[in-house]
Each structure stands twice: as structure tokens, then as C-alpha cells.
Structure 1
């Protein structure tokens, strides 16, 4: 896979990460927080929380029914989608430092990854060309406020679906299922260890600040949490010998392992469930149903597996069956 062939080993990875951060700072401040805690509710006159949402949210992966088929652009009357079509491009909030999901290639300066390919698929469906796409690099904390203010049309930034977030934004059906795991040093024997977080008594484990990952780590007795600004910072601390392990969503850790061959994701089961969904302004139900049609088609025709294999097959193995779409959410 071409992305993995350009790995940076050990401390070099930290240099690349730091250089990338300097480039990005000219546009925006990027913080790598894999599964951040939901921010305080943001009041908005245009996106009031629905009193019925808590009742509907027995299953946070349940989204709206997909459209029966993709309509021609001329047949779309929905106000939000017409605004996107009239503008001439789709605006998507993304990460630029989540390796394999959304990261800037230092050689081409392009942002690429699993999430980016999904954003391209939506743009191509709407406009007939994936080039009609504007990627806006945002922080994890930016995701909900920017959707509420309609500064982005969609967020594709490894965002976990949960009931609290459903009170603020809308989600597509699940497109990837992640879980919190552990990254450790490679074993000299070459075997993948099955180390669990609970096995690291007296050890230092790094996780990003203000995330559910760190919150979960704080509940593990006998482990010393080591907070960092982001997972890139955790990798630097690990390489400096200031942390014995790193915890985070499996795809995040796979990205770190791809950059540093002296690390490996353990084979121990994930300790959390992290279903990822594409996020939208809460009122954009039609757009969400439109994207759900795209996702259903990608899962059915092999497109989802092709995207998975392009980015994730080398670190995580061949593509599994895509997450099943759960529909039927009421408006």
C-alpha cells in the first residue's frame, strides 16, 4: 500500500508529525483527540434539541432510512442540498493528522485516508466529480459547533456515535466499528502480544487529554495515566521512554504502528465499542438519508471493502464485512 511504504521510523515520525503541525497551523489549530468527550451543549436558534431524541436513542447506531435511490441533481428540492449544489462544492470537516483515516501526505501535501475517500464518494454522487470537494481541517472539538453553525456540510473525522451527540447533530449509518486498544513495543520474538491495559500494573500509559479514552484509562487501578495533547504527542513520549504504552481507538493505534515499526497493537480484545458515523447538522435529515443511500451502495457493491483494503488491510488484515446499516430512526 503506497501510504505505508512511506513510513517514518521512530523519532523521525515525530519530526514529520511536528513539521506537519507547523504547516497546518497556518490554517487552523489541529488537535488529535480520537474519541473526545462530548462538549457542553451549544445553544443554537437554528438547531434546537428535539425532546424526542432521548426516547429514540435506544441504539445510537440507528439512523434514518436511506433514499430509495440516488436522485438526479435537478430533482432535488431539499433546501440544504440545493444550497450545496448551488455553491458548487461540498464542504467537509476532516482531520489532517489521523494517519490512515485523514492525514496530510508530506510528499504531495494532500489529505488522504479512509474518511477522505468517503467524502470523495459523496462529492462525486452530488456533482459527478470528487474534485468538487473542499476539505476543512478541524479539531475534534470543532465538529459539533461547526455543524450547528453550518460552516461545514458534513464531518468525516472518525466520530463516535452516541446518544448525547444525537441531541446536537445527526449521523449517517455506521461506516466503521472501532474500539479502544493498546499499543506497546514489539516483542523480539516477533509474536503479537495479547497485553491488556489491566496487565500494565505500575506502568505509564499515554492517552490524549479531554477524551473518553483517558477517562476509561483513569478507571484502571494500578496504571499511571500519562496525558498528552494528542496521540502524536503520545508517540513522542513513548519514543522518549516517558510512556510504556499508548491507548486509543484501534485505527489510531494502527496509524501510529505504521509510522513506528518498533510498536505493535496488541491482540487483546477492545475494551470499548466506538461506532463511527458521518455527522450532519441535525436538521439535514434529507442529506443524511442521501448519504445513507451512498453508504448502503458502497457496502453492497464492494466499494466499502475496496476503501478498507486500500488503507487498513496492511495493519489490520483483510476487510471484514462492513457494519450493517441500522435504519428506521424517526424525524
Structure 2
């Protein structure tokens, strides 16, 4: 129902859909950054290789959640409580996940509700939240430098990003697919060899197109909204990014369809600064509770029910 409503109210030319799997360029290397990605020792070296990074594994909750309004003294949650609001970094144009409602002006969606549930746990009030719209390439840096408390923005947890931020446990499993014209006979991206496929410049989605064995031609645009415009002008033959974002695009264009199976895994997680691990553990406790009490499923049905029935929530993995 929300998808059909969005079709009526969304202005295609103004859409600048946010990146999903995100900026593939890491932050500059600084002395305080520790490499979380396993390296292979030189041939003949005597030291064994360290364990491989598991980007899905987060910090285990410390125990039961404290009562709302009674955060542990000295914790980052207490700092947020004293401030009176949680600052959430997200986009305003990712349909179904975080987009501006044209009637109310509020930014809303699945990702926004993830942040509101954390605010609920801290304050007992989900409305004690300040939404800060951040750029496509600012998701890692905004969490790392404390510009926001939390980033929920269709963001894939990977080992490179773990060097700069902490991630929550995975709250949504996405994967890259491709959007084409409804008249296309292609069944998957493998059938699009030599065809022009658009993705956001610098995104891991763009990188992944180049890895397809049939060699579709990757075309870069500044943002996914620009890809949608290029597709509608017949400048490209398709768009490839996470299936969640493509679902929003297909809802806006009645002549488009999403095809094929996922050919990547994109585990979405919320990002936070590394200097407050207790906050990461707190957020994970909120996610654990919401998986168990049905809140996650209700949130899925609210925003993504038209895409299909709710899957089992992603199971948490811990370090």
C-alpha cells in the first residue's frame, strides 16, 4: 500500500536515491586506525595468518536493557539522555527506508524506525530523535567523528568500514540485483553482457558490476536518482544496486522491473563511533529484544509488506 501511494506523490526528476552498499573509498589512513582486515603473511613467514574479519559479528549485549530514562551514569546513553534527543544520520530520498513524506514533511521509513526504536529504549519516547540528513559519502565519517550518534541508512557492514566505526548486529539482509525495462527479456544481470548498467560513482554496487563474468558496461552517475533519470531517457539499459533500493525505483516507474537473484550479500547494520562500545552493545540489546517480541516483523510489514512476506529477522552474530 505504501509503495502504491509513493507512486502518486514522488517526483521522479527530483529524486536522488541514496547509495546502498555505499562509498567504496575508505577514510584516509591515520595513526589511530587499526586494520581489521586479515592480512596474509609473506611466503616463508613463521607467523600464522590472523582470523579473517567477520563483518556481521558485532559486540555482544552486556545484559538486560536499563529502564528508559535511567541510563547508566557515565555511559554514552546517559550523554544522549542528558542532551534530550538521539541524533540519527540518514538520507531523505531512499524510498521505503528513509524518505521525506511529501504531505507531512517528516523523514520516515524502515531505517528511521530502527533509530526511533533506539530512542524509545533510551527515553521511553520514540519521538525524542533528531534526524540529520547526511550525504551519500558521509555515512562512515559522520558516525566516526560523532556528528551523529547513529547512522541507519541502508549501510552494508564490511571489514573496511569496521576499521573506522562499530556496527550493530545485522538488521536487514539485502543483495544486489538489476532493474531493467519491462520489455526486456533478460532474466539476470548475466544476460546483460555489453549492455550499459548504471550505478552510483564510487559505490561498491558500481564495483560489483565490473565483476560480472559476461561484462556488462558499468556506467557511473553521481547518485542513484541520476541513474533512474538516465534509464528513463534510454541512456542506459539498466540500474544495479541493492534490491531494497531497486524496489523503491520500480515503485516509481511502471515500465521497470527488478530481475534475477541476488548476486551479492549486503548485510545492513547501524554504524556508531568506536570510542563508545557500550552504546554498540546497548543498540544490539534493543535489536535482540525487537527480534524476539515481534517489533522487527511489524516494522517490516509496515514499510516493506508490499514487497513480500516478512522473512525471519537476521540472526545476530557476536565477536
Fold in common (TM above 0.5): yes
Cα distance change on mapping 1:231 and 1:75 into 2, 3 Å = closer
How many residues matched? 306
Per-residue deviation, 1:61: 0.3
- Hey, what's the Cα distance between the residues in 1 that align with 2:154 and 2:146? 19
Q: Does structure 1 residue 40 correspond to structure 2 residue 38? A: no
- Hey, what's the Cα distance between the residues in 1 that align with 2:139 and 2:28? 12
Q: Secondary structure of 2:306's match?
A: helix
TM-score (ref. length: structure 1) = 0.86
Cα-Cα RMSD: 2.2
Per-residue deviation, 1:67: 3.2
One of 85, 89, 98 as aligned partner of 2:85: 89
1:82-121 Cα offsets, whole Å, 9 max, x none, are 2111111000100111111111112221111100011111
Number of the residue aligned with 2:232: 239
- 1:1-331 equivalences under 5 Å are 1-2=1-2, 4-8=4-8, 13-17=11-15, 32-42=18-28, 48-50=32-34, 54=38, 55=50, 58-72=53-67, 73-187=69-183, 195-220=187-212, 221-266=214-259, 268-315=260-307, 317-327=308-318, 329=319
Cα distance change on mapping 1:57 and 1:121 into 2, 3 Å = farther
- Hey, what's the Cα distance between the residues in 1 that align with 2:285 and 2:215? 47
Q: Secondary structure of 2:146's match?
A: coil
Which is further off, 104-113 or 272-281?
Answer: 104-113
Contact 1:13 1:260 in 2 (8 A): no
Gaps of 5+ in 2: 39-49
Contact 1:208 1:228 in 2 (8 A): yes
Cα distance change on mapping 1:14 and 1:127 into 2, 3 Å = same
TM-score (ref. length: structure 2) = 0.89
